[in-house]
């Protein structure tokens, strides 16, 4: 599961924060799409805006780097 977001804005040194999110804490619409997954990984901008949700942590870091962002893990 992946939420698409246009990351390109010309700023190649942006930090993006990666954190785990319990599916049970997400809106019904997203929980239905998760189909049995307990945890997703969110990418957030410096302003706290959620940019994307993906199935696993590794994919979150790959997505960030592919979009010229510097991923940082948040616990």
- Reported pTM: 0.78
Task: Give the per-residue pLDDT at 12.
Answer: 42
Rounded to an integer, the average pLDDT of 53-72 is 95
Assign residue 68 a region: left if phi > 0, alpha if psi is -120 to 50, beta otherwise? Answer: left
Residue 10 has pLDDT above 90, yes or no: no
CA dihedral 25, 26, 30, 34 (to 10 degrees): -30
Query: Are 53 and 39 in contact, with CB atoms under 8 Å apart?
Result: no
60 and 54 in contact (C-beta within 8 Å)? yes
């Amino acid at each position: 599961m992946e939420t698409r977001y246009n990351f390109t804005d010309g700023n190649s040194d942006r930090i993006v924060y990666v954190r785990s999110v319990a599916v049970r804490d997400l809106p019904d619409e997203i929980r239905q799409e998760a189909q049995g997954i307990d945890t997703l990984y969110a990418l957030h901008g410096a302003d706290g805006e959620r940019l994307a949700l993906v199935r696993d942590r590794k994919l979150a870091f790959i997505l960030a780097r592919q979009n010229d962002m510097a991923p940082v893990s948040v616990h």
